[in-house]
A and B are shown apart, each in its own frame.
Chain A
Amino acid sequence: MHLTDADIVLLLRGGLGRKRFQSAKNHLADCTECTERLAFVDRLPDFLREETPPLKSSLFEKAEDLVRPKRSNGSWLSNILVRGRVVVAGLAAVVVVVGVLLLTQEERTSRFRADTESQVSLMLMPLDGARVESRSSFYWSSVADAYAYRVEIFHAKGLSLWNTTLTDTSVSLPATVVFEPGSSYLWRVEALMPDTRIYRSEIQKFTYVQGGPR
């Protein structure tokens, strides 16, 4: 019987018990396939080092789309009712949006942002494109009347890595936030106003380079 993937991993890191180790060795002596599998897994550090042509973004999206949030598994009747409600809600939303647009034609707001959110020119440190050598603190200029600031750090592809809300204009990252050396990250600050408006800074990019304490 061939070795399992777990056997191979354990054998490579010396985690097999004596009896299993001996029987794995005996098997490998006569099994070309398993020896090949073993040697292949042993090359993991090489794989991590090697450069390969990048993945097409459309394929990443295709792979990503393989897993979508699950929908309810109700009966056909409830599905129809749910769909019916969605259609009605959609129509109502369209009517409201058209009405609002007609009433506030002189003030055009972005279709992608709520009225309460708007861009603000905040001075941020580290600056856009900066190379960060240590887990230095993040600083930003204050916004008059803001009662708090929300800081968010993202992976380069947009996935949220960490966020916090505080009243200061600087923050030191907790030890739980780990940067990969050589990787780029994005960050921004939102100023929270007493009248529920939110001012967002522009997104800044920085690259973490090893050289200082992590």
Chain B
Amino acid sequence: MEDRELLDQLFSGGDASASAWRAFLQKYSNLFLKIIWQFEKDRDEVMEKYVSVCSRLMGNDFAVLRKFPKELGLKSSDFPSWLVAVVRNISVDLHRHSQGRRRYPKALLRLDPIDRKIFDLYYWQGYSLEEIGHQLDLRKNGKGTDVNESFARILRMLTRYAPRERKATFPTSVPFNENMFVPDEEEPRVDVALFDKWLEGLPAEHRLVVRMRFWEDMSAVRIARILKIVPQHRVYAILQKSLQKLRTHVERNMASN
């Protein structure tokens, strides 16, 4: 049954409404669960939230769902995407403590620990590549990770490729050093003031591209398509230019201190 038809039946009241609700749940329950899993880690919690989400959707005679037909410009085929947005809002609302938290950029979380450390030292703390190599004890005995190679890899990954497809690996030739270790369970801290100043200094479009790529981990291809950036490789140029600005900003900051 088409979504419009399903909604019409749902809003019609009586027996038809009850059977349409059942069909609606059969069609979308799995999607609801997947969305709720993004906010909850415990299965029982997810199951409990599922019923709460359903209650919110049907509450006040389907007031939430009744908004869909009134949204200008939306087609019936937009219903699943719209529903994702709505159920996400409800899930966030039910999981209040996740709000208001400053998030570390998702794209950086996907880097392997050494690369992330190199990124932090270079962009957040203003170290030169030589200093980073020395501090992390890289190229020990002529072996190990070359900091320049690592740096090139970081740039390539952050600006060009969708890192979701890449699995993080820990280079085996590098001896364990607790300075490099970034525990997986705990989110790294982010220098809020530095981030804000960096972003403030970028043009609006660049800020948005940086947010979508670094914070939301969206691929450059997807960003170009959504923001209608043509040619597509302009996104890569924006990302590289933005990172250069961050580095300059950190250097200036260090010089003034």
Contact = CB atoms under 8 A, between A and B. Distances in A.
Most chain B C-beta atoms within 10 Å of own C-beta, residue among A9, A10, A28, A30: A9
Contact of A6 (B33, B38, B73): B73
A159 interface: yes
Contacts of A39: 212, 216-218
B168 interface: no
Contacts of A16: 73
B25 A42 contact: no
Given A35-B216, A41-B88, A66-B55, A9 B30 contact: no
Interface in A8-44: 8-16, 21, 25-26, 28-30, 32, 35-44
B29 A9 contact: no
B82 A42 contact: no
Contacts of A5: 71, 82, 85-86, 89
A48 B31 contact: yes
A56 B33 CA distance: 11
Interface in B47-102: 47, 50-51, 54-55, 58, 71-74, 78, 80-82, 84-86, 88-89
Given A32-B215, A56-B47, A67-B17, 10 more contacts: A8-B85, A16-B73, A29-B208, A30-B207, A40-B84, A43-B84, A59-B51, A66-B21, A66-B55, A69-B18
Contacts of B88: 37, 40-41
11 contacts: A5-B85, A5-B89, A9-B85, A12-B226, A28-B208, A29-B208, A47-B31, A47-B34, A47-B84, A52-B33, A63-B50
A29 B204 CA distance: 5
Contact of B212 (A4, A6, A35, A59): A35
Contacts of B29: 55, 60, 63
